[in-house]
Structure 1
Amino acid sequence: MAAATPIIVPERIGAARSLASRLPELLIDARRVAANVMLGVHGRRRAGPGETFWEFRPYTQGEPARRIDWRRSARDRHLYVREREWEASQTVWLWADLSPSMDFRSRLAETSKLDRAVVLILALADMLGRGGERIGLPGLLEPRIGRNAAERFATALMQSGAPSDWPNLDRVARFAEVVVIGDFLSDAQSMRTHIQDLATKGANLHLLQVLDPAEEAFPFEGRLEFRDPETGAVWTSERAGSIRDRYKARLGAHRDAISEAARSAGFSFGVHHTDRPAAEGLLFLQGRLGGGRSAIESGRAPPEPSYA
């Protein structure tokens, strides 16, 4: 029996070409965001085995004498040890949802969810690449060390195939870090399954949900036609404003289910809106990968931080 021929939807071909044409500009935006957040320095620097000087500290009784820096110690009457910077590279997998539901922008935002997700992934790749981490793109790029990570990611995204709302993480090993950026509007049970599968692998997951402000506030009134970007299904509401409260309650419950699944597995979860600066989302991810909490935990402005 002959293999089935995959159906290629013209709209998706057009969307892929549109993204490819925007990627050079998105890469420039990503570099600017990364520079504004950390000036190209990754926040996981600490003392440990390596060659780069870290700091001098007082000698502790019982340490090997070979660790003493005699040149520095000769300046006064105290003994000092030269600490070096920890230089063990971490494997980090980065992935952005490029499925049709992400290609949405309301009048309340200046960018689509898809473009913001791509900018965040490229900016994070730039920061991690400069920090000496081993970075990979699931299904497209094996983890590598290099300061040109953002360029490699942009090139790979130009050549990516059919979009999916979740990456193939078969290559992820124990202790690896995984960053997934998307709107996470798919079935909550599927998300819980993905999270549990990664927890079984012994990896560490950081989820950042990107939403348009209109998806959060549902500022619609009157008769409106809603179209599912994934399936093309159309639903018409005669009084859109009358379903606002139910919609917001359902969105909140959906988010809580994913957030709780992440928290139970020891993973992090944040929310970022496209009407906010991209730097806020990057700060959240950088803070989590840095082993601590970012000053802006949820990738949103105060007063209601949202994270797990």
Structure 2
Amino acid sequence: MATAAEHSAKEIAAVRRADGESRTLAASLPRLVLEARRIAANVIHGLHGRRRAGAGESFWQYRRFVSGEPAQRVDWRRSARDDHLYVREQEWEAAHTIWIWPDRSPSMAFASKEARDSKLERALIVTFALAELLVAGGERVGIPGLVSPTASRAIIDKMAQAMLHDDATRLSLPPSFVPSPLSEIVVLSDFWSPIGEIRNMLATLSASGAHGTLIQVVDPAEETFPYAGRVEFVEPEGGDIIVAGRAERWASDYVERVALHREQIRLETGKLDWLFSTHTTNRSAAELLLFLHSGMMVSKGTALGVIVKAGRSA
């Protein structure tokens, strides 16, 4: 069983490798995808607040009138209650927040010979690359409990540094937090946690109305159970050891249990209109990145359609 120090060293190496790989991955995507992302951002401009003064329809705050400004900007009703003139500022309505949470628990360090990366490396690579693309499109991106939402072009550096200096216990599921109703949440994990814990996580994250996507990142060996003979299995997070005398006899039961577990997750996410998909680490990271990126554009288009229809009916 790997010690805490060994896991920490693996995680540091994975973060540093993912930093470089994610930059390459983000840069390798077709420029048309980036352009489409910018166009989509322009279309939905005005739907979500960024708590900054500017053009928009939502009230943000009152501020003192500054000499030289047009007199029509003065809010006379508010000014009548004081000895000063006040301007009614509107909120700058722009991109909403996207939370990305990569599972960095010990079970994610697993990698078989068929895998291109460990599950941890793959989750980090996609997290960094997706954040880079989203920020390039004007979005704010954060990691729950680790990085506050930001539109900084140095988003990968911020995330990597936060992880390298994070001494908190590595959880298998995101920490409890309350996202805004228009937030998008992406969770990258192997999701081998009990279905009850996953159900509770979904209930907490969706309570405010946020939408999300769960991506189960798995190793090829976790899909097919390619073991035979006497095999000793070590639980990476609890340290429990299970010995199989003839492991090949376990394969069919294992595959059935995995299928059942996934079906339970799909049922829970389906109730909330969330998405659930699986990704195997012997496949391309770009494939997963494009899936997530495209899915966010589609969900935004749907949200825009709902608002337009509501406006027409009104």
TM-score (norm 1): 0.76
User: Structure 1 CA distance, aligned partners of 2:212 and 2:291?
Assistant: 13
Structure 2 gap segments, 5+ residues each: 47-91, 301-314
The 1:151/1:158 distance shift into structure 2, 3 A limit, reads same
The answer to whether the aligner puts 1:20 opposite 2:12 as a matched pair is yes
Deviation of residue 108 (structure 1)?
A: 1.2
The answer to whether the aligner puts 1:159 opposite 2:165 as a matched pair is yes
Task: Tell me the equivalent position of 2:116.
Answer: 110
Runs of 4+ displaced beyond 6 Å: none
Q: Deviations over 1:80-135 (max 9, x none)?
A: xxxxxx98211011110000111101111131101100101011111111111111
Task: Tell me the equivalent position of 1:302.
Answer: none
TM-score (norm 2): 0.75
The answer to whether the aligner puts 1:121 opposite 2:127 as a matched pair is yes
What are the residue-to-residue correspondences of 1:14-93 with 2, within 5 Å?
A: 14-39=6-31, 41=34, 43=37, 44-47=40-43, 49=45, 88-93=94-99
Contact 1:225 1:234 in 2 (8 A): yes
Aligned-partner SS, 1:201: coil
**One-letter identity of the residue aligned with 2:5:** I
Moved more, 115-124 or 283-292: 283-292
User: Structure 2 CA distance, aligned partners of 1:132 and 1:150?
Assistant: 15
Deviation of residue 10 (structure 1)?
A: 8.1
Contact 2:23 2:129 in 1 (8 A): yes
User: Structure 1 CA distance, aligned partners of 2:3 and 2:148?
Assistant: 29
Contact 2:138 2:151 in 1 (8 A): yes
User: Structure 2 CA distance, aligned partners of 1:170 and 1:198?
Assistant: 7
The 1:224/1:10 distance shift into structure 2, 3 A limit, reads closer
Q: Deviations over 1:187-235 (max 9, x none)?
A: 0111012112222221111111000000001111111111111111111
Task: Tell me the equivalent position of 2:309.
Answer: none
Deviation of residue 17 (structure 1)?
A: 2.9
Contact 2:41 2:95 in 1 (8 A): no
User: Structure 2 CA distance, aligned partners of 1:273 and 1:158?
Assistant: 25
Structure 1 gap segments, 5+ residues each: 1-8, 51-85, 294-308
Deviation of residue 25 (structure 1)?
A: 2.6
Contact 1:224 1:238 in 2 (8 A): yes
Corresponding pairs, count: 250
**One-letter identity of the residue aligned with 2:96:** Q
The answer to whether the aligner puts 1:198 opposite 2:190 as a matched pair is no
**One-letter identity of the residue aligned with 2:295:** R
Contact 1:219 1:241 in 2 (8 A): yes
Root mean square deviation of aligned Cα = 2.1
Aligned-partner SS, 1:190: helix
The answer to whether the aligner puts 1:177 opposite 2:184 as a matched pair is yes
